[in-house]
Chain A
Amino acid sequence: MEADRPLPSPITPEARPFWDGLREGKLLLPRCGACGHVFFYPRILCPRCHARDVGWMQASGKGRLHAFEISHQTFNRAWKIPPPYVLAMIELAEGPRMMSNLINVTPDPKAIRCDMPVEIVFTKITDEVTLPLFQPGSPR
């Protein structure tokens, strides 16, 4: 399978469970065993209480569109999808934010608003990589 976009690189050891989970259709997020803080991106200590007791929790895949852009120009040579497409910052229901794309939506500012509910679409890119993309969804 040839990817139409840059693959995540380098995948770091501390983020491996995140990528493995996506391949199995699960969105796993790091959670601090000491204070319960759920955060993203994966790292070996909690950015809130700084404890080194990080585990994983399965997230709902629901969230809201925190901010967006509609790209008319491609900035990365490995990106093959023709513009326009929607760059998205997702605020997950569990709290953390991550970058993604908003798909299955008209790429027009009239059709997209910040804080609209979104839900995950597990999108297989290669045998190794499944990306967490998002589409308009129900609030919960």
Chain B
Amino acid sequence: MKELRNSVCIVGVDESDEIGILPNKSQLTLHLEAVSNAVRDAGLTIGDVDGVFTAGQHSPALLGEALGIRPRYVDGTTVGGCSFIIMVGHAVAALHHGLCDVAVISHGESGRSGVGVTRSRDTSLSGQFEFPYGFGGAPTYFGMITTRHMHVYGTTLEQWAQVAVSTRKWAALNPKARMREPITVDDVLKSRPVSYPFNLLNICLVTDAGGAVVLTRADRAKDCAKPPVYVRGAGEATEHVMVTQMGDLTFSESTRMSGEKAFAMAGVTHRDFNHLMFYDAFTSGPPLMLEALGFARRGEGVRFFEEGRSTPGGTLPINTNGGGLSYTHSGMYGIFPIIEATRQLRGECGARQVPGARVSLVNGMGGMLSAAGTLVLSNDSSR
């Protein structure tokens, strides 16, 4: 994997024209807006794209058809919301070996309004072994991981609430974030109970949104419109699908494996990062990811939030776009932390810019910590 280090760059990123609640836009429109915006951000055209990567309901073949191109490389890996993060690693391999020259990873999801959405058929075993007991929505599963963590490590509802508070502080600085009013720990604890241990403010938003990322080889990236962001490391893994099958509910093995692969490819240690992006479907997610990736000892990930390290002005900013908790969460959120890390490394983030951002981590989960993808991104290829 080391030969792939810095061989490919992110050269274009963007959201759909709007994100939020969009009852007049189909899922496919969200895709097409995001792709055309991201390609323009790169200084390229849709006609330059010859590799199409997408996860979710629409296949890469449909996206190619709708874009009016004939891709010579496609990838439809769908392992949950981190699929787009995992696809960056796949795109690096494909671009490095010349299987395509310009790759686009696209996400479009009418997760709130359900416009142009096919009712998907569930092929998991949940219908047989989980739904008869009232399981169904994501909160009914991730809470299991959370109550076990609270039992083993003594983590508390007040601590999880700190994650929502920190993330909202960043959202207040992002004009595109949906929820920008400051909140307190008390606000989180008093918000509507959904599924103990989660109240409403512990849970991500449900929105309509698209996002896309454009990649090309480093030699070609120099000719693009914006400074290149190097993919220095990438890793992926899957462990389980149903939470009952997870080895240790308090420790994500897929996250650990993906991180170790990405760090080894990148040749970095924890101290090298200035900025972290995690998939925050629930407030307890980022602390568990910090633990699985080795940024914190087991049970102590939440201290990053409690002690203010994660917040604006903190020593290790986390989820600077406002996260799935406060910026947007269409369903498969994984494209958005890549977009934010790229913007931070380009210095485009205005009020929320992390000063001197040089190396960013992107880590996301698919399902309930079932799958994981980790990226090490940098604006500097010198080491």
Contact = CB atoms under 8 A, between A and B. Distances in A.
Given A8-B127, A69-B147, A98-B244, A131 B195 contact: no
A99 B130 CA distance: 6
A82 B132 CA distance: 14
A40 B144 contact: no
Contacts of B243: 89
Contact of A10 (B127, B136, B147, B192): B127
Contacts of B136: 75-76, 79
Interface in A20-75: 40-41, 66-75
A99 B193 contact: no
A41 B245 CA distance: 9
A135 interface: no
A68 B135 CA distance: 11
How big is chain A's contact interface, by range? 35 or more
Interface string A82-122: 00010111000000111111000000010001110000000
Contacts of A131: 132-133
Interface in B121-156: 125, 127-137, 139-140, 143-145, 147-148, 151-152
Given A66-B148, A67-B144, A114-B148, A88 B133 contact: yes
B123 to A, nearest CB: 10
A41 B129 CA distance: 8
A94 B152 CA distance: 21
Nearest to A109: B196
A9 B128 contact: yes
A1 interface: no
Contacts of A41: 125, 128-129, 242, 244
Given A5-B134, A114-B148, A87 B127 contact: no
Contacts of B324: none
Given A67-B145, A71-B140, A75-B140, A7 B132 contact: yes
Contacts of A78: 131
A114 B151 contact: yes
A73 B194 contact: yes
B172 interface: no
A31 B193 CA distance: 40
A87 B128 contact: no
Interface footprint category on B = 20 to 34
Interface in B91-131: 125, 127-131
B165 interface: no
B197 interface: yes
A69 B127 contact: no
Contact of B134 (A8, A40, A71): A71
A69 B144 contact: yes
A100 B127 CA distance: 13
Contacts of A70: 195-196
Contacts of B134: 5, 71, 74-76, 79, 81, 85, 87, 101
A87 B135 contact: yes
A10 B151 CA distance: 34
Nearest to B136: A75
Q: Which residue of A41, A74, A76, A87 has the most chain B CB atoms within 10 A of its CB atom? A: A87
A99 B143 CA distance: 13
A66 B194 CA distance: 20
B140 A87 contact: yes
B128 A69 contact: no
B140 A89 contact: no
B318 interface: no
Given A66-B148, A67-B147, A72-B194, 11 more contacts: A7-B132, A40-B244, A69-B143, A71-B140, A72-B193, A73-B194, A75-B137, A79-B136, A97-B245, A99-B129, A129-B132
16 contacts: A6-B131, A9-B131, A10-B127, A12-B128, A41-B128, A41-B242, A66-B249, A69-B144, A73-B194, A75-B137, A78-B131, A79-B134, A98-B129, A99-B129, A114-B152, A131-B133
Interface of B: 125, 127-137, 139-140, 143-145, 147-148, 151-152, 192-198, 242-245, 249
Interface of A: 5-12, 15, 40-41, 66-76, 78-79, 81, 85, 87-89, 96-101, 109, 113-115, 125, 129, 131, 133
